[in-house]
Amino acid sequence: MKRAAVVVNPTKVKNLRTLRDQLTAVFRGYGWAPPLWYETTAAEPGTTQAYDALAHAVDLMVALGGDGTVRCVAAPMLGTGTPLAVLAGGTGNLFARQLGLPVGRYADALRIGLSGQDTPVDAIRIDVDTTGAGSFDTGHIGLVMGGVGRDADIMADTTERLKSRLSWAAYLVAGLRQLRHELFPAKIAFDDQPAFASEVTAVLAGNCGILQGGLRLMPDAVVDDGLLDAVVVRGGGLRWAPVLGKVVARSRTDSVHFRRAQCAEITVRVDPPQRVEVDGDVIGVAHSVRFSADRGALTVRLPRG
């Protein structure tokens, strides 16, 4: 009999016992054994639990929570071929939205996980140099988007309490607080092209192009092309206005405030060091960051057809 593991972020669920009973009933209806059940904590946000589940040779991994939980659960799954079912229950749920999966409807999402088709999607590898000595920490992965600069400041400024009260609008509130910040110098290289210097507000590398509220920062981003969509934002302070206008208009063109590229790897060097975020979670402060696409590294269960 097949068996799955469910890794759930309990802070995203109102009644954990009821949820567990509902999901177990869905598994039973498909002829599966009761799942292994794991709950995340602040200290163990999903990766350790996923490693343990993989050691039990589960047939399906189920991640229930927001983009951060899904990212942590997915990290040890890259290259294993074990399929992941996403039960989206966070604030942004950008990965699930990009894939067309239900949000907040856990039983429906689980049914897709049990009856859908295995689909390979890309992951983002993020290497960070936190000392400036040229030594990179290579332990980070993302599924949605990574960034250096003010977008990471926005994530750091968005509290869980604010997200619970305002949902995706919490990021807008935090973003408005960042308008006062100025540009910072960066050297940026796409693939093996020569690096160029620019004064920037943020540098983003995306696997998914959807932002909170349904805005498409990267209209051409897809999750299975082996490419990252890069956006270099050069608008600071009140100069954010034309940048936001281009996002709302879904513009694909560059401007004095905005530069786009598609590439397999992006390297960003900054001085002074800047915050780095991955899928909405700040992972530290770095002098250099390297984003690279890992094509087809993660297998996700998606609807058939």
Is the same domain home to 145 and 286? yes
Residue 1 burial (C-beta neighbours within 10 Å; 0-12, 13-18, 19+): exposed
- Looking at 115, 134, 150, which one is the last position of a domain? 115
Q: Which two tokens stand for residue 229?
A: 């969509």
Distance CA(227)–CA(260), nearest Å, equals 13
Alpha helices, DSSP H only, in the chain? 16-29, 47-55, 67-74, 94-99, 106-115, 150-157, 160-166, 169-177, 240-248
Is the same domain home to 206 and 144? yes
Predicted pLDDT of residue 247? 46
Is the same domain home to 155 and 99? no
Is the same domain home to 35 and 184? no
Is residue 304 in some structural domain? no
Is residue 50 in some structural domain? yes
CATH of the domain at 38: 3.40.50.10330
Asked if residue 176 lies in contact with residue 252, where contact means CB atoms within 8 angstroms, the answer is no
- Looking at 115, 148, 180, which one is the last position of a domain? 115
Asked if residue 151 lies in contact with residue 240, where contact means CB atoms within 8 angstroms, the answer is no
Cα torsion through 149, 154, 157, 160, rounded to 10: -130
Asked if residue 127 lies in contact with residue 137, where contact means CB atoms within 8 angstroms, the answer is yes
Dump pLDDT digits (tens) for 130-182. 999 888 988 899 999 999 998 787 776 654 554 444 344 434 434 444 445 57
> Has residue 212 got a pLDDT over 80?
no
Name the residue among 137, 126, 122 with its Cα closest to residue 267: 126
- How far the first Cα of the chain sits from its last, in Å, is 26
Is residue 303 in some structural domain? no
Is the same domain home to 171 and 281? yes
Asked if residue 20 lies in contact with residue 78, where contact means CB atoms within 8 angstroms, the answer is no
Whole-number average pLDDT of the chain: 87
Is the same domain home to 147 and 269? yes
Q: How many CB atoms lie under 10 A from the CB of residue 191?
A: 14
* Overall pTM surpassing 0.85 (yes/no): yes
Q: How many CB atoms lie under 10 A from the CB of residue 47?
A: 19
213 vs 66, which has greater pLDDT?
66
Domain that holds residue 13: 4-115
Is the same domain home to 285 and 140? yes
> Has residue 217 got a pLDDT over 90?
no
Q: How many CB atoms lie under 10 A from the CB of residue 286?
A: 25
CATH of the domain at 133: 2.60.200.40
> Has residue 210 got a pLDDT over 80?
no
Q: How far is CA 156 from CA 85, 189, 298, in A?
A: 28, 26, 27
Is the same domain home to 148 and 261? yes
Residue 194 burial (C-beta neighbours within 10 Å; 0-12, 13-18, 19+): exposed
Predicted pLDDT of residue 29? 98
Asked if residue 293 lies in contact with residue 122, where contact means CB atoms within 8 angstroms, the answer is yes
Is residue 278 in some structural domain? yes
Is residue 230 in some structural domain? yes
Name the residue among 117, 20, 3 with its Cα closest to residue 55: 3
What domain count does the chain have?
A: 2
Predicted pLDDT of residue 235? 65
- Looking at 81, 115, 149, which one is the last position of a domain? 115
> Has residue 34 got a pLDDT over 50?
yes
Is the same domain home to 179 and 271? yes
Predicted pLDDT of residue 156? 67
233: confidence class by pLDDT, cuts 50, 70, 90: confident
Alpha helices, DSSP H only, in 158-238? 160-166, 169-177
Is residue 302 in some structural domain? no
Is residue 95 in some structural domain? yes
> Has residue 62 got a pLDDT over 90?
yes
Is the same domain home to 14 and 106? yes
Is residue 90 in some structural domain? yes
Q: Residue 163 has what DSSP assignment?
A: H
Cis preceding linkage at 45, omega within 30: no
Lowest average pLDDT, out of 157-171, 193-207, 212-226, 274-288, goes to 157-171
